[in-house]
A and B are shown apart, each in its own frame.
Chain A
């Protein structure tokens, strides 16, 4: 009998897609699903045209408008004039190459990483590629979601493959039970704070442990979404029966006999128990409080009951300067409690936290309360389908009655490529993924947190502990 080396979940999936090894460090792997968005596809199509190349598998690709669409309640492509050219280019390129296009007028439109799982495009054990770094979201269903640049988008269109360095497997286990008011977003932000924004470079992270297993599917998508914020291109969670139940019946999910065959395959996917990880890290989920970032990258994060750290305590000069610059940019001072910091804008949405369960968590806090005076609060569903589901459940009324704006689906204030921007030095609490300088607009200040915490800040006018609001 041949003895097989034990493999991690990641290694099994990678192996199943291996077309051939290219050299000592790189493989050519097959891409099962390719999702295109308007900001990173135009040059790729130009490249195909210049080289007279065809799209190899147009039927395995779909396109969606997300980054640049207006989120006005009533809208069309022209509602964001600055994005019109790229939106029209993708629409025309998709038509020319017979790629299904879910534009602003299509009920399936939404953020690429939200509609992938929602439509059953993302399947366990599959490789998904998209020209956006948050493609790792797909890992929540046990898929490999690979964020790529525009040249790689062209490469996938032309060859349906990617030539990539082989990532090394790494694991972060969240053991214990997360407390009330502590969400998937808090768990992952806390882990980035512990291990740093570069800890995952060159790695594929598998999230494991009892606190991960206990998460519903949408929360698992949130955790995997943030993989790139550890520096990891890939992050994933072993699929289980709740994963399969989530996928069953979705538009692009396999059905009937094909479903049975797929299910049998997916049940074999979990990693072998003795498989080794290059790095193996632990978090005690029971000790994690709701998290808020204080600085300008995601490792600059603390619990809601903590004070902003003092840069003088950091070991090297470079780190001290960097932390001081972050405090200065954010208008914060060392030793200040994060609780009580007044906010101007609240953004609830994005591929991290724009799913139905996120909106429900925010609505539970907003219900029967009012957005504080002088605070602008936006709720932007991650997809048009989520918007419809939320409206069917009356969530739009809850938000509107409380004084929130109820908007249409798109990336919105996460990337601020449409009109949804923050004014200079305004302070925004956001459920998105990046608190970088100028991300939400020139000199805009961003604090990342969970949907419930964002809603709590909206109704109190300041960063506060949602657990005290009950």
Chain B
């Protein structure tokens, strides 16, 4: 269950290629057991040789980016598999915000459910953030969710977009299921009417 999102400052690691899929974020081999170390598995095939040795020039193995709490990723980040372990792996590693020009639909939803901020920015803003992450390496970016802004090392403030209701729910750390269960009367009313309109959907329950 998410906790209230707190503003923070941290290093931003650039990983700007487009269409990074969730198989790359967390390989399926790290999902075979509920007790796998997902933080160690983050981008495992890009981070380690087959021997387990770190690949020195991969961005998250380099100073200062190995301490990153923000990821700057290319468009359609998180495409492919629905695996929520991709979000869990980012969080376990320490990433709390992914900034990208766009996100894959399922990854975007999974992020909110776990308190990982998916910040959507324009390509121009993204390019500027990328330039500063490299040019000002070691200097921090500051994430302000309430204002929907990220301050760059230069001091410039860049806006990101997030639906206001999602932002507010994140700031409160809402439990989505509890929120839905407060709509109990709506769900009950729907189901009662629907049982009459589409009884064949519910006959599966009676047949048990």
> Interface of A with B (CB < 8 Å)?
16, 18-20, 22-26, 28, 30, 32-33, 39-40, 42-43, 47, 50-51, 53, 57, 59-60, 68, 82-83, 85-86, 89, 98, 100, 121, 123, 126, 131-133, 147-152, 154-155, 158-161, 163-165, 167, 197-198, 201-202, 228, 231-233, 252, 254, 258-259, 261-262, 265, 297, 318-319, 321-322, 415-417, 424, 434, 436-439, 442-443
Select the stretch in B6-14, B81-89, B132-140, B151-159 that faces chain A. Answer: B81-89
Q: Are B32 and A83 in contact (CB under 8 A)?
A: yes
Q: Are B16 and A318 in contact (CB under 8 A)?
A: yes
Q: Are B82 and A85 in contact (CB under 8 A)?
A: no
Question: Does B69 reach chain A (CB closer than 8 Å)?
Answer: no
Known contacts A40-B83, A133-B81, A231-B79: A252-B28 contact under CB 8 Å: no
Interface band, chain B = 35 or more
Residue of A51, A83, A232, A436 most packed against chain B (CB within 10 A): A436
Cβ-closest 3 pairs across A and B = A59-B205, A151-B113, A254-B200
The residue that B18 contacts in the complex, of A47, A155, A259, A318, with Cβ under 8 A, is A318
Expressed in whole angstroms, the minimum distance between the Cβ of A109 and any Cβ of chain B is 18
The residue that A60 contacts in the complex, of B1, B31, B102, B205, with Cβ under 8 A, is B205
Give complex CA distance A22, B113 in Å: 16
Expressed in whole angstroms, the minimum distance between the Cβ of B117 and any Cβ of chain A is 16
The residue that A32 contacts in the complex, of B19, B177, B201, with Cβ under 8 A, is B201
Known contacts A254-B200, A436-B80: A151-B23 contact under CB 8 Å: no
Residue of B21, B27, B201 most packed against chain A (CB within 10 A): B201
What are 7 A-B contacts with C-beta separation under 8 Å? A23-B163, A43-B34, A132-B82, A147-B106, A152-B110, A154-B177, A202-B105
The residue that A318 contacts in the complex, of B17, B80, B208, with Cβ under 8 A, is B17
The residue that A152 contacts in the complex, of B17, B109, B179, B203, with Cβ under 8 A, is B109
Give complex CA distance A373, B7 in Å: 61
> Interface of B with A (CB < 8 Å)?
1, 16-19, 21, 23-24, 27-29, 31-34, 45, 50, 74-76, 79-84, 87, 102, 104-106, 109-110, 113-114, 163-165, 175-177, 179-181, 183, 186-187, 190-191, 194, 197-208
Known contacts A60-B204, A132-B82, A254-B203: A318-B113 contact under CB 8 Å: no
| Residue numbers in A under 8 Å from B74 (CB-CB) | 318
Q: Are B19 and A131 in contact (CB under 8 A)?
A: no
Give complex CA distance A415, B75 in Å: 24
Q: Are B204 and A252 in contact (CB under 8 A)?
A: yes
| Residue numbers in B under 8 Å from A16 (CB-CB) | 197-198
| Residue numbers in B under 8 Å from A24 (CB-CB) | 163, 165
| Residue numbers in B under 8 Å from A438 (CB-CB) | 23-24, 27, 45
| Residue numbers in B under 8 Å from A82 (CB-CB) | 32-33
